Amino acid sequence: KAGVTQTPRYLIKTRGQQVTLSCSPISGHRSVSWYQQTPGQGLQFLFEYFSETQRNKGNFPGRFSGRQFSNSRSEMNVSTLELGDSALYLCASSLAFRLVDTQYFGPGTRLTVL
């Protein structure tokens, strides 16, 4: 069974631009969660989607948004990029809602904002 895939793996943007990251979960998984990892703040939870609905959201500004499609694939969008948005963005999928099940992580998308 294929693992979680994320595209693109690396991305360079400039301040003010917007970016869309994609995550394809493991087949059959209906929950997708997104995380941001930076050296200063560590790993932080962004949001969780289940059956095309955002179920939970971390403490991030409205510039960070996401969506999930009927095939469970998910996209994350960051608008008006800031230098501090430079980070590794990880997505994870699991079978169940509310993260009561094991999460499987993708390799991440490394975003650099110049």
Partner 1 sequence: KQEVTQIPAALSVPEGENLVLNCSFTDSAIYNLQWFRQDPGKGLTSLLLIQSSQREQTSGRLNASLDKSSGRSTLYIAASQPGDSATYLCAAWDTGNQFYFGTGTSLTVIP
Binding site for partner 1 (CB under 8 A): 4, 33, 35, 42-45, 48, 55-56, 58-59, 90, 92, 98-108
Query: Minimum Å distance from CB 91 to partner 1?
Result: 9
* Nearest CA among 69, 72, 92 for reference residue 4: 92
CA dihedral for 85, 91, 97, 101, sign (positive or negative): negative
For residues 58 and 65, which CB has a smaller minimum distance to partner 1 in the complex? Answer: 58
CB of 39 to partner 1, least distance (A): 11
**Of 65 and 79, which CB lies nearer to partner 1 in the complex structure?**
65
Rounded to the nearest whole angstrom, what is the least distance from the CB of residue 37 to partner 1 in the complex? Answer: 9
Report the residue number, 72 or 94, with the smaller CB distance to partner 1.
94
Cβ distance to partner 1 smaller for residue 39 or 62 = 39
Tokens standing for residue 42? 């560590």
Contact between residue 97 and residue 50 where contact means Cβ atoms under 8 Å apart: yes
Least Å from the CB of residue 58 to partner 1: 6
